[in-house]
Amino acid sequence: MTTTRSNKRTGGTKPAEQNPDLFDQAPASLVLDEFQMLKRFITNMEDNVYCVTNLPEEFIAVLFAWVSRSPKSFKEHVLQAIKDGFIDPAKILENPYEQLSDKAAAFHEKWVVGYGHSSVAEHANAHVGVERVSRLASAELELSNEHYAITEYSQRYQKPVRGAWFNPFERWINHSGPTRDMHENPAWIAYEGFMNECFDVFEELIDGVYKHLTEGKFYPSADSEIARINATAMKLSFEDARYALPLAMFTQLGMTANGRSWRDGLSNLYASDYAEVHDMTNKLKREITKVLPTLLKHADPSEYQAKSKKRMKARFPETFVKGKALQPVALYDFPLEGHALREIVTHEIVRAQGLTINEARARAGTYSTEELKEIVLELIWEMGKYDAPPESFKQIHYQFSMLISEANWHQLLRHNRKTAFTFAPPNVHSGITIPPRIKEAGLEHKLVELAAKAEEFFGTLSPGIREYVVLNAHRRQILADCNLWEMYHLINLRTSEEAQWDIRQAFNDLYEQLKFAHPTLISAAKRR
């Protein structure tokens, strides 16, 4: 493993060391004007975690949507919106974070904090920008509460840059900053060397896949069409090459949640195994409290959660078995279709006729299996590709397992809020997923060799640090529980041609198993 790099390729330090000032290149007078303008909308101008406030709700939705397709920060987008006339700072109050009156604050203190009427906190929202956190930390954040609204930077559409990664090691030994006799931490140097090797392979895969997709191909004569084809080939190239990148790579998120969701989520985050997550959680609490000063009173570390987690780790020590054959996708628990059909019809009878559950079940029991199928098919007849499934479908549950790449897992957890997940920690022992285009280009060996280096390096690092070197290609075990309503959503969305190939393949496998188990119930799930 290479551990030394030229000055051109250093970087990847702690966020505070790497974060360039947004206004470094602007004239001093302009810097002050911009700073004062943005202070009305951003709770913290110096940090990478902050709330976005005092803006129209629909604009905030657009602002957060931009993050998926743009490398710019939220601050830069807000500033550009001001310059373009979409926001008029003159109409915003001088006091950007208007506080509650003493009487209103006392009410919240008594009823929300004192008496535990947490539902009151559901009416107050905080919009948060989180930048320059690792993908490892972003997954912990997204999974800490199921009620977040999330938009995240997409590695499918935005090409990562060298050095944009989190390094959990302190750079300098014995000193807090550069001095004449300082020296760099060998652990920091080794980590940087590995990250740069990953990025080397990432760039080599981009070049190789792009060459494979474009060389010797017939092109139309129109320059615009050639440019479009080349752009598509480049997008596909770095979309697949990103499987060589580790979970340490930086990402950014736009998030919206109510006070209760933030409180519960932050409490869960304090039980994380990662120091980066604890630091991020403290910043989230600090910034959200500026907007919701009373409603986050119980967003504290839970001694119970920490001790319970520790007890389970002691009882079930880590025992990953390298190379163990596991089925990629398995539907392992579900009702017989006849029972499921009868349950759905039972709920439709209650909805239509107001019978008791026993009366409705007795009525549904008089129908033959064929009649039950006919009723359910009538229920879903003419369902369009954007229509929601019947509410009665929420009564039928499935459990399935997936052995999927980290790249796949990060897509699944982002766009799915109605599935209960149990997931193994990031690891290097469950094999890797190799994108088909990398195989077709004859570059499979590069990813295999890099994964072997990651596995070796992983073994030298301690828990809480080693997970950062897990690659997007590495797989982990996921268990999931969802109802038929959610299954319709997942199959319809994730098996479409627009879906990324990895997650599409996983859900096509699941869909085939569902068709075998429940051919009638699942018949209208795939509608795109």
Could you state, in order of their start, the residue ranges of all structural domains in the chain? Answer: 40-155+248-312, 183-247+436-469, 318-332+394-431+474-517, 338-382
What are phi and psi for residue 499, nearest 5 degrees?
-70, 150
Q: Does domain 318-332+394-431+474-517 have CATH number 3.30.70.3180?
A: yes
Phi, psi of 502 (to 5 degrees): -70, -50
Instruction: Please report which confidence band the pLDDT of residue 80 belongs to, taking 50, 70 and 90 as the band edges.
Output: confident
Share of the chain above pLDDT 90, in %: 59
Average pLDDT taken over every residue of the chain: 85
pLDDT number for residue 12: 45
Of 231 and 140, the one with more pLDDT: 140
Q: How confident is the model over 398-403, as a mean pLDDT?
A: 97
pLDDT given at position 8: 41
Identify the pLDDT of residue 2.
Answer: 40
CA distance 14 to 134: 11
Is the model's pLDDT at 106 over the cut of 60?
no
* Interatomic CA distance for residues 444 and 313, integer angstroms: 36
Mean pLDDT of 275-291: 94
pLDDT at 490: 94
Give the residue, 58 or 166, on which the prediction is more confident: 166
Give the pLDDT score at 284. 96
Give 149-204 pLDDT, tens digit per residue.
898 877 777 788 999 999 999 998 875 555 666 788 999 999 999 999 999 999 99
Q: What is the mean pLDDT of residues 206-234?
A: 78
Q: pLDDT band for 334, please (50, 70, 90 cuts).
A: very high
* Distance from C-alpha of 158 to C-alpha of 288, rounded to nearest angstrom: 28
**Which CATH class name applies to 40-155+248-312?**
alpha beta
Shared fold status for 40-155+248-312 and 318-332+394-431+474-517: no
Residue that has been written with the tokens 């039972």 in this structure: 346
Residue 427 pLDDT > 70: yes
pLDDT class of 483 with cuts at 50, 70, 90 = very high
Write down the pTM of the prediction.
0.84
Task: Measure Cα distances from 373 to 266, 364, 435 in Å.
Answer: 46, 12, 40
Q: What is the predicted pLDDT for the residue at 21?
A: 39
